[in-house]
A and B are shown apart, each in its own frame.
Chain A
Amino acid sequence: MKSKKSQIYKEASTLPSIVPPWLAAVLSAIVPGLGQALARAIQRGLVIFFSFISIVGLLIWRFTDAAPRDEGAFDIIRKAFRLEPIFVLISIVFVIFYIWIIIDAYQMAKIAGKPEKRKPIVVMVFLILVFFVIGWQIGQIDVYAFVTKFGDAFPAISRVLWPWERAITYPEEMWMGTAALETPCDDTQPPPTEPLDDKPYLIVDPTCGIPSIQVDQEDNSIEVIPGTTIHVEGYNFTPDKEVEIWWKDPAISQFRHREGGDILRVIPDEKGYFETEITWPYRLIPDSYLEGGANWELQGRQVTTIGDWEFSAELKMAIEKMIETIFIGMMATFFGIILALPFSFLAARNLMRTNAFTLGIYYLVRGVLNIIRSIEPLIWAIIAIIIVGLGPFAGILALVVHSIAALGKLYSEAIESIDPGPIEAVTATGANWLQTIMYGVIPQIIPPFVSFTIYRWDINIRMSTVIGLVGGGGIGYLLTQWIRMLDYSAAGIAVWFIAITVALLDYISAEIRERFV
């Protein structure tokens, strides 16, 4: 038995083409799809026409986007090819598609009226191919970069995965030895530093000189005339531990010494002694500081840890914010429940269908709840931040609004699915209204309510970390800050806390649900 569809198909294809094959091909070359349409493959012609138009549109957009400063089709295309070689591929596929359209029109006209098969699959394959290549370019997919630069992420990822070195710190103490210098050299130059017994000190030679000078050249470049070279010796430093060389200039600002652009690193030997040569650096100092000889100070700084480890500030902050997050979720759930309850009764069909008025309220409440629920908490957070400013309260508000809608719907469905039988039975015993609610209604709705509430609490805590990202307080806020500061270890601590909390919560909610439901 032949299906009706194939019969219609056959009838349509029994008609011969309106135009000869060569004309169909020419027409399709001018207006892609026209040849097919005239060959009685109207659908095929339409699909080809509209796809062709949209592909051309997309190509114009992408090419001009790739070469925005060029004018003229030829320049634009050449520039685009050079900048992004994928355009070459796109163009090749496009040209093949165009040629195929012409050939297809010829064939369509030829087989029109004959029982030969038309293959819509080829059209589909071509369209998918063209759109795929364009999509690849629009999506700026760069597998090469992804693969080759994947390794770059390892330091950051490894710090996120194991951030715990950052969880503890050792209290630090700065160990500093100094030497005085003066500029320019006059008869009252500072004496050499007095040696000390148990504290580090520096001895410089000479103790006076001139700093480097910068001279502006005519061609706007800057020439640096090096200052006096100073021989520095350090004594009594902690052995084998890096010493940082710092300057205190006459304007009392302190800065780290650089030699040839790089930070100078010196490591004292086992006796705590080192020596090095440095060039007196350039410093832009207001004239008022230079009258009657300016005093400089050279410092050798060593940071050493003293005493036992302690928890780092980051860890403490992460814990505090995690607790804040849990409470944001809790408060949001709490207010969500309280406010969702009245709405849930109004949104329960079995309670509201008694007359047209209450049914109207039912539809209204249902509709509003649905609209609120369909807006992401993130967007509510942004609105709340506008009203109450950054911080946990904004996060709570956003989650409360969303919870009311979500819980209201779930609760109302629980109420709708109540079995009226037990209520009838309790009423029949002579119980009053309150007793009937307590013994006939509550036991039926408590398990689903508890279940939905825990589910919501779970969601709210997870959401509150996300809401923190836009400034709604909690650990999410901290996490974004740390990520922006590229402090991946600290961010890792936050990520760990979030993961642990969510996992714990999952476990707890599953347990509670098992007990109650």
Chain B
Amino acid sequence: MVRKLLDGNGAAAEAMRLARVQVIAAYPITPQSPIAEKLSQFVADGTLKAKYLRVESEHSAMSCLIGAQLTGVRTGTATSSVGLALMHEVLGVASGLRLPIVMPVVNRSLVSPWSLWCDHQDTMAERDSGWIQLYAADAQEVLDLTLLAYRVAEDPRVLTPIMVCMDGFFVSHTSQPVEVPDQEAVDRFLPPYRPQNLYLDVDDPMFVNDLTPPADFTEMRYQQKVGFEAALEVLPEVMDEFARHFGRRYDLVETYRCEDAEAVLVTLGSMSGTGKYVVDQLRAQGQKVGLLRVVSFRPFPADRVRAALSRVPVVGVMDRSAGLGAEVGPVCTEVRAALSAEGRQVPVVGFVGGLGGRDLAPKTLAAAFSRLLEIRAGAPAPRTSQWIDVRADALQLREVPAGVRH
């Protein structure tokens, strides 16, 4: 084990090297580009024995991985934002073919308007693509979740690809000391890749992915659903094993000071660290608040969320994507569904904030907590999403008066 100063991108690349990916196809995009560059450097300097395909798009990147993984090798790529959107069509191919590809995704907003900065709309738009989604909160977690993701994805009960999501710049470009395990230790944890179920082999020919009639299609999708359900069991299993191997412990959700909390905020990704800081501050002032961080958004651990919030009288959810057209953002929708299943009438307030790179600063999260505490004290709970950091002049921004064209 060595300690290295790495940012999220560096940690992702390091994890892929330790996983001994054999074929890489990547296309640069801010803020993911350093991953593509580092991987090509590893291949060039021989510290990673792999073939690097310098593809002309993300669509081709994922397509190359699909072809390569079908021949029986572990593959690697990474992307962000519109790159992930461009992959959309083939993300479903990878998951439908049950190819256990692990892909770091650096979260960045989707156009329009253009933004280079963090929010979660890119991965939220892919939440039904048949990929598992894990959200890391810092660089160490990027490395650890990526490594354990291979074990989960390749587990025969799961056989489902995984996105390891990290917040653009907040995680991807923030350096911290990261514990990087030795190759031998990783090799003991992660055996070489063995293709299962679908593969391309001239000595054992099969044709993969042909047209499938309505008589079979439902069953093929059902197999994927069963894979996701299994992932809810396999993820904690592998996380336990990871803790035994490397000493760091992960879970599907993380609770912070929830036990006696009067109000809990549900978070995802790097905002969680800020959230814990705010919880500590409010606790010091005598306010009983807590935080629940979702690590695995797909599969969504509804049971665990229910259990963690079972005695909490007011819940808030901070969505980092707009969830346009829905009553609340996508994470809040899940939390509401999970809690309503219990028949509890607990108010679940959906907040939207931190879009397009706006910092979810302590004061923003503190404002969310104080709204929750007001509701606890009797204020009515809103049904629709509360845009916690929107400016008062929102509707005047870029407004063009009619009839002034010259």
Tell whether A and B belong to one assembly.
no
- Residue positions of B touching A, CB distance < 8 A: none
